[in-house]
Structure 1
Amino acid sequence: MGFPAIVVPAFCYNPQPFGNGHGIFTAIRVKKFRLQAYLKHMKKILFFLITIPVWGQNVESNILTYNEYLGYVKKFHPRVKSADLNISNAQANLMMARGAFDPKIEVDFDSKQFKGKEYFSLLNSSFKIPTWYGIEVKAGFDNSEGIFVNPENTLPNQGLTSFGVTVPLGQGLWINQRMADLRKAKIQINLGNAERQLEAVQVLYDASVAYFNWKRTYDEVQLYKTYLTNAEIRFKGISGLIRNGDKPAIDSVEAGIIVRNRKLSLTESQLKLVKAKLELSNFLWLENNIPMELQDTMIPEPELEKTIQETLRTNALMAGDVSLNNHPKITALESKVNLLEIDRKLKANMLLPKANVGYHYLSEPSAWNNRDFENYKIGVNFSFPLFLRKERGSLKLAKFKVQDAQFDLNLERVQLGNKVKAQQTELNSLLEQGLLTNQLVNDYQVMLQSEERLFSFGESSIFLLNSRENNLVTAQLSAIALNNRYLISNAELFRIMAQPE
């Protein structure tokens, strides 16, 4: 259902074709009791020829459509590009977290020579492979030479190879810091996507409001231009009648006041239009971050209210209930809850004792295939705080953070649902108000035309005529403002749903 069109008055009493289809307005004071006097005054019709442009007809071809405008914003606006960087940052963090599971080569060589004697030469090398569940696989080769080698470091002449594993039996088996970092980094990807959508939607909303304000100020300028032209022609016509003695001189003052008021309103609306254009230019960019400036010849889409819902896809949202399961704000809050839940699990794991067990099979390089498992090295490491006050306190804080985030998630679900319903109600109400406003405009137009007819027969005054016209101008300005509210309300529903693609 389209928003009602704004009707512009055609001050035509008994209109006849003229020029390229415009009407004729006649305002002649006619003495009803003298038909011949009426015919004598017909020559004065020329003072009241008024050309009224039809509202909504745009002879200019430089129309910047709303859909085209949003395309520029989506593709080139710096804030949208900045939102894309959040995804790159999250991917970089994921790469860093995966780096904790990269195999590692370590070599430690220490040698001492003094007075021609080799005191010692020690080589320790290893190749470590971290695994997901905290288990570490390690292969190594050690060698030592010299006359003063520590007996603990004495090895066979060929050196010694080793292969074994270290297993955590308490802390670090089911979850540890590197596992938590990797899980968080994966969640950060989803969080980054959601935040990017929210940022892009906010940019598109701000850009839409700027476009709608530009359209509103443009429509107001065109409206005031039309009525200024009417007022100036009426003033000239009345001045001519005053010179011929058919109108009192005070009517020229009344007509001059309305001309000056129309000029003042037009000047103010033109200032608003300039500001609206500058505000709109903030959202127009090209490649390589080149800003664009809106040219004076560009005009907004004339009947945007008919296409706004299709462009923003809000027509489907007005049909019925809306699902919020894939809403980016819900996704972002769920991601934050998952991040805090990983921290909680990590803190809970700290309540377990540290118990690491390692076994390494030892062999000379030449006897590796003998598989004599009687040569080995084992190690056990155990520690456990008696009161665990630090660990229990950290776990409580982690639980509180999870609960707080869950409260925010539940609250946001309810708020989003209510916001959608409220916005749907507002849009339906604005459509009804638009119909009423359109009827008011039509009624004021009929009243003005009737008053103009009475004025032509000398049964009305310029004061009443201007009063009727002011009422019509006020009604049309209200219709423009209501149209603007309708467009912004659609953009608000688009922002609430946060689906920029």
Structure 2
Amino acid sequence: MNRFFHIVFLLIIVSTKGFGQSGFDSLFLLPDTIKAFSIENMYASMLEFHPIVKQTRLLSESAQQEIRMARGAFDPKIATDLSIKEFGDKEYYNKLRSSFSVPTWFPIDPKIGFERNAGAFIDPENIVGSSSDNAQLTTGISLPLGRGLFTDDRRAALKQAKLFAVMATAEQVKLINKILLDAAKDYWQWYYSFYNYRLLGRNAVIAEEIFRRVKLDASLGEAAAIDTVQAKITLQQRLVERQEAFLEFLNTGIKISNYLWDNAGYPVQLSIDVAPILVLNDGQLLSNQTLEELVFQAKQNHPELIKLRTKIDQLEVDRKLAVEYLKPRLDLNYNFINQPLRPNGDFQPFRIGSDYKFGLDFSMPILLRKERGKLALTKVKIQSTQYEQTQAEREIVNQINIVFNQIVNTNKILIQQTSVAENYERLLKAELINLENGESDLFKINVQQEKLIQSQSKLLKLKSEYEKMKATIYWAAGVRNLNFNNGQ
């Protein structure tokens, strides 16, 4: 029995380099055959190649096309109308009207027109000159003096399109932030699965060596047969735990592959020889100043708040347009008229104040019920959106505070759990000393090993959850960069 205890004691003493805190840290020392893949590498790949990220860029492109469409209302316009009638070898009429108009941001729209009318049966109002001089040139403006003077549908549409571009950018940030958060959570779950598999795999190797030694000593009569049963049960348990951890490691790695694409648009499968890594730097994280900065950034730049502010701006454009529709429609049209080209080729100058065409269009609903209802409804929508904005800002700030409290508390738990793992190491070493003195047995050793493994696995889980919380607080603040190690 002394030889058996001595062998087991030496074996476990050597193996406790893998159990203690220094041994725990050695889990993160990757061999040369393993390639490290940081979360920064994953972010960079996603922002460049991920299809969803590329899809969000189409929002900006769509918004720019909306602006282009709205600007189309200000495009110069050429119009021509030609009407000819002949019957019984007689030309009844031959009428040609052409115009060139230039809509402007200001309500003054210049217009140039050309008119040529000929024929035996032209209406008197269409006669523009003698039978030999039947062409006429006009130039003038159209000016709204009532409704449309300060704003109109086309100007409102362009403003709305520009605001839509702001909203599209905010939606793009929101969607990218969400997919980066999902990726971060899956990455840190993969991180836990990988290192937990390494931890359990290492303990399975130790259990296998113990079983081999105990079995050998039992065959030599230096260990009881029941000790081999105990060692085998422990080995079987470690092998089951390792296999379960391996399955989780494989599946979490497959999830990470969801976020990896190459520059040709093909999915990239994460190989088994790639491992996650963690760089600790929590100096900035655990400060109230950081919390205040995150809250300030959230109030200014959170995509949801930007969208709500932009929605209010859009409704304000609608409100101003609705106010404009309360005014009467009073449009002034004034055109100079001349026939500058004579049959002999002479140019006839314009005679201002003599030859002109003047028009005045006026209309106004008497009760204005439609217009007043539209204005009142728009005001209600503005107030409703303002309430929504106030509540959204409140919820965002509270969410940041909640996650920050979780981070601070989890950091304290991490410190305690690290101490717990170290104390379990001390208990195991003490139990080994008792074993050497004949005051313990293999069963008690296995119990202490099991508790140490559980404490180290829990420590890994806490590290994983801690990193998920750090990613979550940046997402809650609406900040693009989710990694605390880089800051904002």
The TM-score with structure 1 as length reference comes to 0.86
> Equivalences for 1:1-16 in 2 at 5 Å?
none
- What is the DSSP-based 3-state SS (H/G/I as helix, E as strand, rest coil) of the residue aligned with 1:130? coil
Matched residue, 1:406: 386
Q: 1:458 to 1:384 in 2, by over 3 A?
A: same
Matched residue, 2:61: 88
CA drift of 1:472 comes to 0.8
Matched residue, 1:463: 443
- What is the DSSP-based 3-state SS (H/G/I as helix, E as strand, rest coil) of the residue aligned with 1:259? helix
- What is the DSSP-based 3-state SS (H/G/I as helix, E as strand, rest coil) of the residue aligned with 2:252? helix
Long gaps (5+) in structure 2: 19-25, 342-346, 482-488
Q: Give the superposed CA RMSD.
A: 2.3
2:91 to 98, 113, 118: 118
2:189 to 186, 209, 213: 213
> Equivalences for 1:225-244 in 2 at 5 Å?
225-244=201-220
Partner Cα separation in structure 2 for residue 44 and residue 382 of structure 1: 106
The one-letter amino acid of 1:189's match is: A
- What is the DSSP-based 3-state SS (H/G/I as helix, E as strand, rest coil) of the residue aligned with 1:289? coil
CA drift of 1:457 comes to 2.9
Q: Is the 8 A contact 1:167 1:356 kept in 2?
A: yes
Partner Cα separation in structure 2 for residue 294 and residue 440 of structure 1: 35
Matched residue, 2:344: none
Partner Cα separation in structure 2 for residue 106 and residue 358 of structure 1: 18
Long gaps (5+) in structure 1: 1-28, 31-37
Q: 1:431 to 1:389 in 2, by over 3 A?
A: same
- Does structure 1 residue 191 correspond to structure 2 residue 163? no
> Equivalences for 1:6-405 in 2 at 5 Å?
29-30=1-2, 54-60=26-32, 61-156=34-129, 157-301=133-277, 304-306=278-280, 319-322=290-293, 323=296, 324-366=299-341, 368-405=348-385
- 1:79-137 Cα distance to aligned partner (Å, 9 max, x none): 11111111111111111111101111111111112222211100111111112233322
The TM-score with structure 2 as length reference comes to 0.89
Partner Cα separation in structure 2 for residue 496 and residue 185 of structure 1: 28
CA drift of 1:45 comes to 7.6
- 1:377-410 Cα distance to aligned partner (Å, 9 max, x none): 1112222222222222222221111111111222
Q: 1:43 to 1:360 in 2, by over 3 A?
A: closer
Q: Which moved more, 1:435-444 or 1:357-366?
A: 357-366
Matched residue, 1:18: none
The one-letter amino acid of 1:472's match is: L
Q: Is the 8 A contact 2:140 2:333 kept in 1?
A: yes
Q: 1:182 to 1:68 in 2, by over 3 A?
A: same
Q: 1:203 to 1:138 in 2, by over 3 A?
A: same
CA drift of 1:276 comes to 0.3
Matched residue, 2:466: 486
- What is the DSSP-based 3-state SS (H/G/I as helix, E as strand, rest coil) of the residue aligned with 1:121? strand
Q: Is the 8 A contact 1:84 1:196 kept in 2?
A: yes
Identity %: 28
CA drift of 1:41 comes to 8.1
Q: 1:242 to 1:456 in 2, by over 3 A?
A: farther
Partner Cα separation in structure 1 for residue 121 and residue 28 of structure 2: 101
CA drift of 1:432 comes to 1.1
Q: How many residues matched?
A: 460
- What is the DSSP-based 3-state SS (H/G/I as helix, E as strand, rest coil) of the residue aligned with 2:290? coil
The one-letter amino acid of 1:142's match is: E
Q: Which moved more, 1:404-413 or 1:82-91?
A: 404-413
Q: Is the 8 A contact 1:318 1:424 kept in 2?
A: no
Q: 1:395 to 1:42 in 2, by over 3 A?
A: closer
Partner Cα separation in structure 2 for residue 199 and residue 87 of structure 1: 13
Matched residue, 1:474: 454
Partner Cα separation in structure 2 for residue 337 and residue 41 of structure 1: 78
CA drift of 1:147 comes to 1.0
- What is the DSSP-based 3-state SS (H/G/I as helix, E as strand, rest coil) of the residue aligned with 2:330? strand
Partner Cα separation in structure 2 for residue 196 and residue 233 of structure 1: 55
Q: Is the 8 A contact 1:351 1:391 kept in 2?
A: yes
- 1:62-85 Cα distance to aligned partner (Å, 9 max, x none): 111221121111111111111111
Matched residue, 2:484: none
Q: 1:444 to 1:108 in 2, by over 3 A?
A: same
CA drift of 1:264 comes to 1.1
Q: Is the 8 A contact 1:358 1:378 kept in 2?
A: yes
- What is the DSSP-based 3-state SS (H/G/I as helix, E as strand, rest coil) of the residue aligned with 1:131? coil
- What is the DSSP-based 3-state SS (H/G/I as helix, E as strand, rest coil) of the residue aligned with 1:399? helix
Partner Cα separation in structure 1 for residue 323 and residue 171 of structure 2: 29
1:416 to 384, 391, 396: 396
- 1:1-34 Cα distance to aligned partner (Å, 9 max, x none): xxxxxxxxxxxxxxxxxxxxxxxxxxxx54xxxx
Q: Is the 8 A contact 1:285 1:292 kept in 2?
A: yes
Q: Is the 8 A contact 1:284 1:293 kept in 2?
A: yes
CA drift of 1:486 comes to 0.7
Partner Cα separation in structure 2 for residue 432 and residue 158 of structure 1: 95
CA drift of 1:291 comes to 0.8
Partner Cα separation in structure 1 for residue 467 and residue 151 of structure 2: 52
CA drift of 1:420 comes to 2.2
Q: 1:453 to 1:124 in 2, by over 3 A?
A: same
Partner Cα separation in structure 2 for residue 343 and residue 314 of structure 1: 44
- What is the DSSP-based 3-state SS (H/G/I as helix, E as strand, rest coil) of the residue aligned with 1:344? helix
CA drift of 1:498 comes to 2.6
